[in-house]
Amino acid sequence: MAVSQARVRSVGAAKSPLLGFAMFTPAVLYIVLLIGAPFCLAVFYAFSDARIGSKGLHYVGLENFRSILQSPSFHAALKHSIVFTLVAQIIVMVCANILSIALEKPFRGRGLVRFLILLPWVAPVSLGAIGWKWILDSIYSVISWLLGWLHLVNPFDPPMWLGEPKLAMASVILVHCWRLVPFSTVILLAGRTAIPKEIPEAAAIDGAGFWRTLFQISLPMMLPIMSVAFLFGTIFTFTDMTVVYILTAGGPYDSTQTLPSLAFTTGITGSDLAAGAAISVFLVPVLVVIAYLMLRMANRTELA
C-alpha cells in the first residue's frame, strides 16, 4: 500500500515539472513577445534616432529626452495627463461610491440595474467612444438638442462639445469616467459588502446619521480597497489613449493631448519613432511608483 502510493507520487513528481513548464510557457511567451519585447524596443529607440522610413539607426544618448523636455507640447501633454487622470479618478470614486451604496440593499430589479451599470465596462471601448462621438457631435448632438429643447442653450449656436478646449477636455474626462465607473463600482461594492452588517447598525444605535456613518465608519473601513481601485484606475487612465484618440485625436489645438496620445502622434503619425519612444518611456517611472503603492495596498488589504 505504502509502496504503491510512493510510486504514484514519484510518477506524478516526474511528470509535474514538464506539465508545469507546459502550463507556464504560454503566459511567459505572451508577456515576453507582446509586452517585454516592445518595451525593450521602446527603450532602445528612445536612445536612438530611429525614424519611420529611414534605415539609419544611431545611438544618440539622452538627446531625445532633452528635446522632449524642452518641447512645449510635451509640457502641455504632461499637464493634461495629470488633470485628465486626477479629475477622472475623483469623479469615478465619488460616482462609484454613490452607486455602490445604492446597489448594496436589495430592491426589485437590482440584478438588471447591476447589469446595465456594468455594460460600459464590457462593451468594446471603440464602440462606446464612437457612440459618444455622435452624442457630442457639433451638429447631431443629442445633448445640445435636449438642452435646446429645455431652452438652456441657443439651438442655432449649440456648444461645440469637442471643438472648444475646455469643453473638449471635460467631454473626454466624462467619457472616460463613463467607462471606468462600472469597474470601480464593482470593487467598492465588494468592499462595502465585506463590512459586517452589525457595524453600521451599531453606528445607528450610537446615534450616527447617514453622513457620519459614511465618513467616519464605512469609508475608513473601505479605505484599503478604495486605494486599490483608485491606483488601478490611475494606471488605467494615465496610459489610456483610446478615448482621446477617437473623440478628439488630441485636439482642438492639442488641448486634450495626453502623454500616450502625444507619443502616438509623434512616433507613429509624425514618424519620429525615437521621440515617441522617449515620451512613452518617460511614463515608466511614474507608473512603477503607482504600481508599487498599489501592490503594497493590496498586500495590506489581505493582511487586514
Write out the residues near another protein by the rule CB under 8 A. 196, 198-199, 201-209, 212, 216-217, 220-221, 223
- State the nearest-atom distance from the C-beta of 205 to another protein, in Å: 5
Nearer to another protein, 190 or 204 (CB): 204
Whole-number Å distance between alpha carbons of 152 and 244: 27
- State the nearest-atom distance from the C-beta of 223 to another protein, in Å: 8
Residues shown for the chain: 304
- State the nearest-atom distance from the C-beta of 204 to another protein, in Å: 5
- State the nearest-atom distance from the C-beta of 197 to another protein, in Å: 9
Nearer to another protein, 22 or 304 (CB): 304
Nearer to another protein, 154 or 201 (CB): 201
Cell of 62: 539622452
Residues facing residue 59 across a β-bridge: 48
Burial of 59 (0-12, 13-18, 19+ CB in 10 A): exposed
Cell of 33: 513577445
Cell of 214: 459614511
- State the nearest-atom distance from the C-beta of 226 to another protein, in Å: 13
Q: Which of 275, 258, 301, 218 is nearest to 51 (CA)?
A: 275
- State the nearest-atom distance from the C-beta of 127 to another protein, in Å: 42
Q: How many CB atoms lie within 10 A of CB 172?
A: 28
Nearer to another protein, 7 or 212 (CB): 212
- Rounded to the nearest 10°, the torsion over CA 90, 92, 94, 98 is 180
Q: Which of 92, 246, 80, 241 is nearest to 165 (CA)?
A: 80
Nearer to another protein, 19 or 199 (CB): 199
For cell 475646455, the residue is: 166
Q: Please state the separation of Cα 41 from the chain's center in Å.
A: 24
- State the nearest-atom distance from the C-beta of 95 to another protein, in Å: 24
**Amino acid code (one letter) for 207:** G
Nearer to another protein, 52 or 206 (CB): 206
Q: Which of 221, 200, 227, 256 is nearest to 83 (CA)?
A: 256
Nearer to another protein, 155 or 220 (CB): 220
